[in-house]
Amino acid sequence: MKSSLQIYNSILRKKQAFSPLDPQNVRMYVCGMTVYDFCHLGHARVMVVFDLLKRWLRASGYPVTYVRNITDIDDKIIRRAVENGESIRSLTDRFIAAMHEDADALGIERPDHEPRATEYVAEMQDMIHTLMNKRLAYRDDSGDVNFSVRAFPEYGRLSGKSLDELRAGERVGVSGSKNDPLDFVLWKSAKADEPADAKWDSDFGVGRPGWHIECSAMSCKLLGNTFDVHGGGADLQFPHHENEIAQSVGATGEGFAQYWMHNGFVRVETNGQSEKMSKSLNNFFTIRDILKVYDAEVVRFFILRAQYRSQLTYSEGHVQDAKAALGRLYTAVGDVQVADSIDWTLEFEARFAEAMNDDMNTPIAVSVLFEMANEVNRTADLALAARLKALAQVLGLLGRTAEAFQKAEVGDQAGALDEAEIQALIDARTQAKADRDFSKADAIRQQLLDMGVVLEDKRGGATEWRRA
């Protein structure tokens, strides 16, 4: 099924029919994580959104080459490694492993390529040479090499602002030696106090690449100078993606990405007020913080219930509602085997595809799943349940049995328990009863109940547990 997918193209500010350069190889690049700390909920949304796009393209009959990079050298990484007294490689390896753990838990399939920036420094240097030869870049008095923004007339097309409207903001470093405050760094001259593993030799001096040139070099190397989709969070639209376009088009003279896709921001609801998620507001959540409280599939479902371009507001109530809703879908499908294939001509399947082809309108697609679930509950139609499960798995959902889902839920309170911890508490309660310490036994029962675990004492002394 080759789809009639419509994608909101950020650079055109409208939906556009998706027409890949090569229908036999859709090429897609997404800006990945800077690995100096654990991934947060905003990272989770990026990973889930573009995992979904890749899944939908493949379900629609398109082969896909998906690249999501890793930034493993930048100021924050260097600073954290120095603070910890460890090598940059040791730090980044650790947080890459943690990122993979979080992504795997959320059902995010690994990209086809996951390049590390430090492995492509030679390609970055080649691109910088090209830009300097074209007089689009220059070396300033500090030794940095900068891109000359005013030498690239198309600059500002993605952000929709003219050069005169654009101002050097918080994320655009202003150096007195730059020709223009909007000029951005391609190569940073090494500082004496920086560790040796943060420095590379080059024809323009010892240093390291700037952030923006990393993605240009990696995407062009792995996908070609022009490819289909470039994605990332809305916060990257300016200046990062704007700068990528300038560098890449400036260096190659070709068109770079055909479609630009940006997912919306994540906010946090606190005391009835929606706020931007930030450490300074003490409302910052890492993925693993959240997975201590909620089942990972519930978190994935919570993210998918919002259309990817919309704002996503995190709150306990919203995730609890997602958990209950996902539970209803699991109740409908039970232990049925997933359908072998999807017939997109059938009514429910066709409506699901129509929603997904409308710029991945997951709220409508999910509503189709609930219509199917209601029909299954009314008719006990196992074939329909199998079809429901197949559609849900396109979204990366309903991959378990209903029983497995219920047992995997980890409760609603911070510090929720896994099965081993639950069993350890049950054993401690059994021992307390044997010691006739009934107040302790009752306290353990209440602790488990607070975590959403109900105990049932059976004849013969055995204790079974279930989710509340």
Q: Pick from 55, 86, 165: which is nearest to 149 by CA?
A: 165
User: Is there a single domain that holds both residue 55 and residue 204?
Assistant: yes
**Domain-embedded: residue 414:** no
Q: Using an 8 Å Cβ cutoff, are 140 and 175 in contact?
A: yes
pLDDT per residue as tens digits for the range 392-403: 999 999 999 988
User: Is there a single domain that holds both residue 251 and residue 274?
Assistant: no
Q: Using an 8 Å Cβ cutoff, are 53 and 28 in contact?
A: yes
**Domain-embedded: residue 189:** yes
Number of H helices, E strands in the chain: 15, 15
**Domain-embedded: residue 327:** yes
- The CATH number assigned to the domain holding 359 equals 1.20.120.640
User: Is there a single domain that holds both residue 454 and residue 306?
Assistant: no
Enumerate the known binding-site residues for ATP.
279
354 or 280: which leads in pLDDT: 354
Q: Using an 8 Å Cβ cutoff, are 387 and 346 in contact?
A: yes
pLDDT(190) > 90? yes
User: Is there a single domain that holds both residue 237 and residue 299?
Assistant: no
Q: What is the pLDDT of residue 276?
A: 83
pLDDT(242) > 50? yes
pLDDT per residue as tens digits for the range 417-443: 677 778 888 888 888 878 877 667 777
The range of the structural domain enclosing residue 316 comes to: 266-408
**Domain-embedded: residue 71:** yes
> pLDDT > 70: what percent of the chain?
92
**Domain-embedded: residue 247:** yes
User: Is there a single domain that holds both residue 156 and residue 193?
Assistant: yes
User: Is there a single domain that holds both residue 181 and residue 307?
Assistant: no
- The CATH number assigned to the domain holding 93 equals 3.40.50.620
How many independent structural domains does the chain possess? 3
Average pLDDT, the chain: 91
Mean predicted confidence (pLDDT) in 53-76: 97
Enumerate the known binding-site residues.
31, 215, 240, 244, 279
pLDDT(450) > 70? no
Q: Which two tokens stand for residue 95?
A: 């947080």
Mean predicted confidence (pLDDT) in 139-143: 94
Enumerate the known binding-site residues for Zn(2+).
31, 215, 240, 244
> pLDDT > 90: what percent of the chain?
76
**Domain-embedded: residue 1:** no
User: Is there a single domain that holds both residue 279 and residue 190?
Assistant: no
Alpha carbon distances (Å) from 93 to 155, 290, 321: 35, 23, 36
Count the neighbouring beta carbons within 10 Å of the beta carbon of residue 201: 10
Burial of 278 (0-12, 13-18, 19+ CB in 10 A): exposed
User: Is there a single domain that holds both residue 255 and residue 280?
Assistant: no
d(CA 67, CA 28): 6
pLDDT(319) > 50? yes
Q: Using an 8 Å Cβ cutoff, are 234 and 265 in contact?
A: yes
Domain boundary at 364, 386, 408, which? 408
User: Is there a single domain that holds both residue 68 and residue 184?
Assistant: yes
Q: What is the pLDDT of residue 170?
A: 38
